[in-house]
Each structure stands twice: as structure tokens, then as C-alpha cells.
Amino acid sequence: MNLDKLKDLESEFLHRYPSGFKDESFFPQIQKFKPEKLELFAKDVLKKENFSNPNLAVEGFFKTVQKSVMVSLFDKLKLKDAIASLNSYEKDMLSIEIYELLYGNKKEGFEGLVEFLAQYNLAKWTIISVTPYCIHRHTEYFIKPTTTKMIIKYFELKDCNYKPRPSFEFYENYAKALDEMKSNLDESLTFDNVAYTSFFKVAIEMCED
């Protein structure tokens, strides 16, 4: 981690926008983004007891993706069609992978969900990472490819070799780097992990301009 670069970004950003993401004129999309509501919704439809009913669990997974403004409409529609085509056994398998990702063996759940969704060309970072973020938005990260590649390049992060197909190894290494940088930033920029990575995108673009 380049601490000098990190603190320079923070200083420049807060100098221009002392109120940070509360600046409604500069961050109108952030104002519409209500992570607390999304968290409450996801924790309700994806609570542990719902996984005793695979249909309910899979429905909760889709509805969480559907409610997220971070996933493209195109991918939401593709996911809807894919889930509609599943038989009972396939829904059971999908619900197991989602449960492991959220509450069990995270590595196995992550890799299992990637394999499952790859059959439908839906093994994408946004879909894989959105539900863990919704359930644990202060510890898990939503991976948006453009922002992720920008952060890796700007800070020259080691052991973070981004590839379009999600991998648990990359996620772990990238999350570790983000956690380390977060510990050195003002809390006004890290109150939510999507807002935190959005800070990097805005600040890097601002400095490069």
C-alpha cells in the first residue's frame, strides 16, 4: 500500500468536499443509495431459516440482486430467466452455494456459486459479490470491475491480479488490501464499503484530471 498516495487522495477529496458524501449537489446518486434499507431487506429474505426452503432462499437471492442499484438491468433480467429455468434439484444446489457463501464455508460457497452461474454466463463479479456485501456491508466488498481495476492500478496493489471470472483468491487478497487502506482513512469515507470504494473512484478521477 502506498500510504502517501492514500493520504493525498483523502486530503484533496476532503478539502474540496468537507461534507464528503453528504454533498447532495455533487453526489446525487449516493443520496438515493440507501445501504441500510438494502441491508435490512437482504437480512430478512436471506435469513438462515429461509434456507430450509430452497425456493424461498433462491427467491431471496434474486430479489436482493434485483433491488441493488449496483447490478445492471441486463444482468438482472438474465438472472431472472436463468432462475425461472431451474428445476427443484438445481434450486436446491443453488441455495446450498448461497448459504455457504453467506453463513458457512465462504470459499466453497464462493467457488460453487461461480461454477453454478457460469453455466448461464452469469459468473460475474457484481452478481457474486452483491449479496455478501448486502448482509455484511461493513466487512464484505461489492466488486465493480471498473472501480476495482482503477484502484489496483493507482495503488499498484500486489497479489491483486484482476480477471473477469471471479476467484476467491483474488477477492481475499483485494479485500485485505482494502481493509488495510480503510484503517488509515477518515471514518466519514468508510461508513459503508460501497461508499468507501466509490470514494476511491471519485478521488482518483479528480486527481488525474
Q: Are 145 and 125 in contact (CB under 8 A)?
A: yes
Handedness of CA 58, 63, 65, 66 (dihedral sign): positive
Residue 95 has pLDDT above 60, yes or no: yes
Domain ranges of the chain: 3-32+141-208, 36-135
pLDDT tens per residue across span 111-162:
999 999 999 999 999 999 999 999 999 999 999 999 999 999 999 998 899 9
Q: Are 61 and 98 in contact (CB under 8 A)?
A: yes
pTM score over 0.85: yes
pLDDT tens per residue across span 31-71:
566 788 999 999 999 999 999 999 999 999 999 999 998 89
3-state secondary structure of 134: helix
Amino acid found at 103: Y
